[in-house]
Structure 1
Amino acid sequence: MSNINPIDYISENQENIIQTYHDLHALAEPSWREKETSAYLIEKLQAAGFTVKTFVGHYGFIAEIEGKTRDVVGLRADMDALVQEVDHVVRANHSCGHDAHSTMVLHTALALKQAGIRPEKTIRFIFQPAEETGEGAKRFMEAGILNNTEMLLGIHLRPTFEVPYGKAAPAIVHGASVSTVGVINGLQAHAARPENGINVIEAASVLIQALQGIRLQAGCSFSVKMTQLHSGESPNTIPGKASFTLDLRAQSNEGMTELQKKTAKVLKAVGNLTNTQIDYEFQGLVPAATLNEKMIGTAKNSIVDILGPEHVVEPCITRGGEDFHFYTTKHPHIAATMIGLGCGLEPGLHHPQMSFQIDALNYGTKILTVCVLNAAKA
């Protein structure tokens, strides 16, 4: 090891960082199928001298730089890609930036390893599968990857309208989200005799209108929208069954609890009004962020160290969900934050043509490196 300053090492290896991003972007594997992505990252870490721990049943893994104590500072990256239509072809596509996140966490690990630093606390690099399904963090916790963890850090690319290029936010205030998956059961009939049937499409239209009347307590933004509706096989038949999905979002966990109760009330009322049976269940709950001022302060100081005080922005508030927050919901003693990285991202996350200024990965990696070192001293 050269004992080089890790920030200098990152500066000298900017081309390698960019190449890693391009390599991972080309792999693009969906949730639970991150085989080649995981193998690529593991190979880079093992070549640098890391011992990697893998797990049965998925492609997530961890690696560590041992500290003077077994208290752990975790740095988490997600690895999976979305499956979406891109240029009329449905395929895996990195339009949420997970390839960028894995790149930055990998090169933070490599920089610290090359520097030969033995921190006060152990630094654990967490490469998580299946964030897009909202299940990866929960599965990872079952394997005990948070044992001895006191602090946890993540990072996520942010759209320009949230965090401008060249700036960073010390926290992302994600909202809670959940899907409501249901079936409307009516009565099929010939379209020439609609009075003999119960039209579930008409019931769905009543449901859409009724959902717009939901209101939550002041101070909590929310949305509830129908995102899927499937019904009917024949053009001359009144359909007797329709499947639907609702997307529910609230800025707080308390708001989400209220939103679920009011959505359930609307579903029951619409069923009674339209003489249909509406069966449903809530699936895939992702909790809202729990803010920790200690870690937010550590992240803010680290951003200042790399970019200067004028390039720190306030924590960015977004209705988007992130399964990172399962970690602190299940383990509230952990001090955690997720840094929002401004990178010129347009037009937005999950857009099939999402792009950003890739050189932002260089200062993003430096921010992570300083932040985990500062946390490991705390």
Structure 2
Amino acid sequence: MVFCKWVSLIFFLQLFGTIPTLSNCSLTNKELADIPVNFLNHAKTPELVDWMVGIRRKIHENPELGYEEFETSRLIRDELDKMGIPYKYPVAVTGIIGHIGTGKPPFVAIRADMDALAMQESVEWEHKSKIPGKMHACGHDAHVAMLLGAAKILQEYRDNLQGTVLLLFQPAEEGGGGAQKMIEAGALENVDVIFGLHVATDVPIGSVASRPGPTMAGSGFFEAVISGKGGHAAIPQHTIDPILAASNVIVSLQHLVSREADPLDSQVVTVAKFQGGGAFNVIPDAVTIGGTFRAFSKESFMQLKQRIEEVITAQAAVQRCSASVDFLSDKKPFFPATVNSEELHEYYLKVAGDMLGVQNLKVMPPLMGSEDFAFFSEVIPAYYFFLGMKNETRGPLASGHSPYFTINEDALPYGAALHASLATRYLIEFQSKSQLAAEGKVHDEL
């Protein structure tokens, strides 16, 4: 029986335990193309949609910050238990790694982040955040619901998976470097590739957007204390003015991009914090400034870091001040650039195109925003894409990290089906290559 036939009859065949395996089955292009179409049809069934919506809303009502996602993690584990999916917990404090399939190579991972943001929700609706000062304002609640939806689909087809799908539920994406800690805990051991997605408010529903190569910038943060000598504003000659020094520092930092960076090598230095003084007629002893810097290559990023420190200390000295610079790497680890595998880009285009139609595959420009999925892309071939939520008939959606951010829940089936399709077809199409490279290996996490 060919794949396209048994997928459409899956529920009947499961009743009798007669689902054929793919181990010796050579699938045609048509049969491969049917996989994402049938998975999307499955994901759009009212039962699965309602279930994903319910999961998403429960998580939205109870947002948790990075490394504090204990209740979110408990909810995920409860659902995995109900599905009969084994998992490892805890990983990186609150993270979970589930696995579906043979437990043998090849291994493909699909990932969702779990954490919320420290902000008050301003959207009034039935499932508004119940936790003051915390909100899912970036869609991670939807990401978890879609990965669980993919798990439901994959678990129903588990006997046909020729390899293993790992489900990575990751903590602390919002600045905490949760991906890095999962890697340190062995999450990618023997894994061939990993896929991730993010909801997008400016991409139409039923469409996806991505690009090969550098996709999102590497990022870091800095904070500097510029110290002088305070005094009365009417007699500035008796002071050493740190506000004047900080002002010159900020202007000079802008020259790092405008005069030192290659115009074709996108970089950003932004000072977004300036604290000093509390009276109109008093020059303070010290001023604190802080900001972020971003670049698409490690070389450019490290050059920016070096020059930021040099400029701050030197310009402060010109104004007779001293300066100390802290890059906050212990609290806000540096994120590398997110780089999409060229080979996986072609694969993604095939799978997403078969599901959504090539007209719904959008090319996105590189973004100066950062994403800790980048830590995964530094270790193994990785692919990250954006899932559309925009529906013109419903009006515009607020951008991420806004207190007015909302989710178009019509996007959930698309995300679940794409996760499941990318994983399943990878195991089929890349099985031989992966097995030759890793014959006989068993993932340590299983």
Note the 1:181-260 alignment, pairs <5 A. 181-215=223-257, 216-260=261-305
Amino acid at match of 2:227: N
Residue equivalent to 2:206: 166
Tell me how far apart the structure 1 counterparts of residues 416 and 233 of structure 2 sit (CA, whole Å): 62
Residue equivalent to 1:370: 421
Identity %: 28
Residue equivalent to 2:22: none
Pick one of 103, 106, 113 that aligns with 2:148: 106
- Asked whether the equivalents of residues 313 and 324 of structure 2 are also in contact (C-alpha less than 8 Å), the reply is no
Over aligned residues, Cα RMSD in angstroms? 2.2
Pick one of 8, 11, 36 that aligns with 2:71: 36
Amino acid at match of 2:303: E
Q: 1:24 to 1:171 in 2, by over 3 A?
A: farther
TM-score w.r.t. length of structure 1: 0.92
Q: Point out the more displaced range, 76-85 or 164-173.
A: 164-173
Pick one of 377, 393, 405 that aligns with 1:328: 377
Tell me how far apart the structure 2 counterparts of residues 256 and 71 of structure 1 sit (CA, whole Å): 34
Q: Does 1:337 align with 2:383?
A: yes
Q: Does 1:291 align with 2:340?
A: yes
Q: How many residues align?
A: 373
- Asked whether the equivalents of residues 7 and 369 of structure 1 are also in contact (C-alpha less than 8 Å), the reply is no
Q: Does 1:10 align with 2:43?
A: yes
- Does the residue aligned with 1:279 lie in a helix, a strand or coil? strand
Q: Point out the more displaced range, 31-40 or 307-316.
A: 307-316
Tell me how far apart the structure 2 counterparts of residues 347 and 210 of structure 1 sit (CA, whole Å): 34
Q: Point out the more displaced range, 237-246 or 29-38.
A: 237-246
- Asked whether the equivalents of residues 377 and 383 of structure 2 are also in contact (C-alpha less than 8 Å), the reply is no
Tell me how far apart the structure 2 counterparts of residues 372 and 57 of structure 1 sit (CA, whole Å): 23
**Per-residue deviation, residues 206-235 of structure 1 (Å, max 9, x unmatched):** 122122222311312222111112223455
Per-residue deviation, 1:272: 2.2
User: Gaps spanning 5+ residues in structure 2: where?
Assistant: 1-9, 15-37, 124-130, 391-395, 431-446
Q: 1:296 to 1:209 in 2, by over 3 A?
A: same
Amino acid at match of 1:301: K
Tell me how far apart the structure 1 counterparts of residues 40 and 254 of structure 2 sit (CA, whole Å): 51
Amino acid at match of 2:152: L
TM-score w.r.t. length of structure 2: 0.78
Amino acid at match of 2:362: V
Pick one of 400, 404, 425 that aligns with 1:349: 400
Tell me how far apart the structure 2 counterparts of residues 328 and 152 of structure 1 sit (CA, whole Å): 8
- Asked whether the equivalents of residues 134 and 286 of structure 1 are also in contact (C-alpha less than 8 Å), the reply is no
- Does the residue aligned with 2:229 lie in a helix, a strand or coil? coil
User: Gaps spanning 5+ residues in structure 1: where?
Assistant: none
- Asked whether the equivalents of residues 298 and 374 of structure 1 are also in contact (C-alpha less than 8 Å), the reply is no
Q: Does 1:309 align with 2:358?
A: yes
Pick one of 298, 312, 315 that aligns with 1:270: 315
- Asked whether the equivalents of residues 6 and 112 of structure 1 are also in contact (C-alpha less than 8 Å), the reply is no
Q: 1:11 to 1:56 in 2, by over 3 A?
A: closer
Pick one of 49, 70, 85 that aligns with 2:105: 70
Per-residue deviation, 1:268: 2.8
Tell me how far apart the structure 2 counterparts of residues 70 and 30 of structure 1 sit (CA, whole Å): 34
Q: 1:67 to 1:298 in 2, by over 3 A?
A: farther
Residue equivalent to 1:97: 139
Q: 1:224 to 1:267 in 2, by over 3 A?
A: same
- Does the residue aligned with 1:359 lie in a helix, a strand or coil? helix
Point out the structure with the larger helix share: 2
Q: 1:26 to 1:176 in 2, by over 3 A?
A: same
Which structure's CA Rg is the greater one? Answer: 2
Per-residue deviation, 1:165: 2.9
Residue equivalent to 1:21: 56
Per-residue deviation, 1:258: 2.7
Point out the structure with the larger strand share: 1
Tell me how far apart the structure 2 counterparts of residues 281 and 371 of structure 1 sit (CA, whole Å): 41
Per-residue deviation, 1:316: 4.2
- Asked whether the equivalents of residues 246 and 316 of structure 2 are also in contact (C-alpha less than 8 Å), the reply is no
- Does the residue aligned with 1:83 lie in a helix, a strand or coil? coil
- Does the residue aligned with 2:118 lie in a helix, a strand or coil? strand
